[in-house]
Amino acid sequence: MRRRVTALDVARAAGVSKWTVTRAFKPGASITEESRRRVMAVADRLGYRPNLLARSLATQSTQQVAVLVDDFANPHKLPFLELLTASLQAEGTLAILININESFDHAMALMDADQRQIDAAILLGTDFREEMLLDGGRSIATPNLFVLARESTIASIPSVSCDGPASIEEIGGYLRRQGYRRPGFLCGPRTLSTALGRRRCFAAFWRRHGVEDLPELPAASYSRQAGAQALRAYLSSVRAEERIDVLMCENDILALGAMDVARSEFRLAVPRDLAFVGYDDIDLAAAPAYDLTTYRQPLAAMAAAMVEMIQGRRKPESLRLHGQLVERGSA
């Protein structure tokens, strides 16, 4: 096997000290441009790459960030992961994806991340509560925590999210101008949807406009099948003349499942018999088969703000960023 080239090898070949080689690879370090060019030329010729493990011991930074995800059925997650990981890599930081599931919960993930000495952990659109910081009643050591794509329910943990109250106010106003007066709301699991706040804001909007009892359709999970089942149960139990005229869905994937059931099983025309609004603007929402009116989250701006906090260029604080209402044919 070929021996790994070391900083000392580069130093000897370039006629400089080992510390000059180290400084050449450290952004902002004090070193002349001539020395940097000489070191880089020799390093390139020898195939030298800095030992990141050794650097992390010296700098107390591993340049690694854990990204915790507990919902892979939602197609909104993949483009968000692509943006986030690309933004981190552009800063020289590696993203480590951790799958939160029944056999590997938040507490286990955070303990594992801490043992790997990561610089920060991002909870990407995942449910998170204060008790998850406990292991058998004992507080666990945690890295710097951030919540992305949901509002943080813990004051000390910063979050970056789409502005839920503003977006729902915009959606509600749009639906009223379109003439809808009998709204309903299709939500995900109550424990997961609480931090999103969309159901609460939607109900508050319509209360201000005289709708006291907002029908709520609960879905068992954030999936197309769960959205279909939730609307199927509602349409099967409510007489046609008493049904809602527009259904706001907590995200697009729920909306797509609900639309499939409305048209294929109950022969409802969209939007004449029942209108639909989603949230996220996933790629399939724009397909002619759905033409879904939805709300587009500012993914790039959210990812950029999160990375700036992690890199120390921005004060860690909870931010709400504005998105965009996308008007299509379903409403």
Residue 240 and residue 238: Cα distance in Å, rounded?
Answer: 6
Position 8: which residue type? L
pLDDT on residue 227: 97
pLDDT on residue 217: 97
Alpha helix stretches (DSSP H) within 178-251 = 190-193, 198-207, 224-237
Please work out, in degrees rounded to the nearest 5, the angle formed at the alpha carbon of residue 68 by the alpha carbons of 82 and 314.
Answer: 70
CA distance to 79, 213, 320, per residue, from 298 (Å): 12, 31, 10
Q: By the 8 A CB rule, do 224 and 253 touch?
A: yes
pLDDT tens over the chain, length 331 residues: 567 788 888 889 999 988 888 788 776 678 889 998 999 899 889 888 776 555 554 555 678 999 999 888 888 889 999 999 999 999 888 899 999 888 888 888 888 887 777 889 999 987 666 666 655 444 555 668 999 998 887 888 899 999 999 999 999 999 999 999 999 999 998 755 555 689 999 999 999 999 999 999 999 988 999 999 999 999 999 999 999 999 999 999 999 999 999 999 999 999 999 999 999 999 999 999 999 999 999 999 999 999 999 999 999 999 999 999 999 999 9
DSSP 3-state of 185:
strand
Q: By the 8 A CB rule, do 247 and 186 touch?
A: yes
Q: How far is CA 148 from the centre of its chain?
A: 5
DSSP 3-state of 78:
helix
Domains of the chain: 7-50 (1.10.260.40), 64-161+300-321 (3.40.50.2300), 164-297 (3.40.50.2300)
How many Cβ atoms sit within 10 Å of the Cβ of residue 25? 18
Q: By the 8 A CB rule, do 85 and 53 touch?
A: no
Q: By the 8 A CB rule, do 270 and 258 touch?
A: no
Q: By the 8 A CB rule, do 90 and 306 touch?
A: no
Closest CA to 123 of 68, 188, 65: 68
pLDDT on residue 138: 46
pLDDT on residue 294: 98
> Backbone dihedral region of 197: left (phi > 0), alpha (psi from -120 to 50 degrees) or beta?
left
Q: How far is CA 129 from the centre of its chain?
A: 16
DSSP 8-state code for residue 130:
G
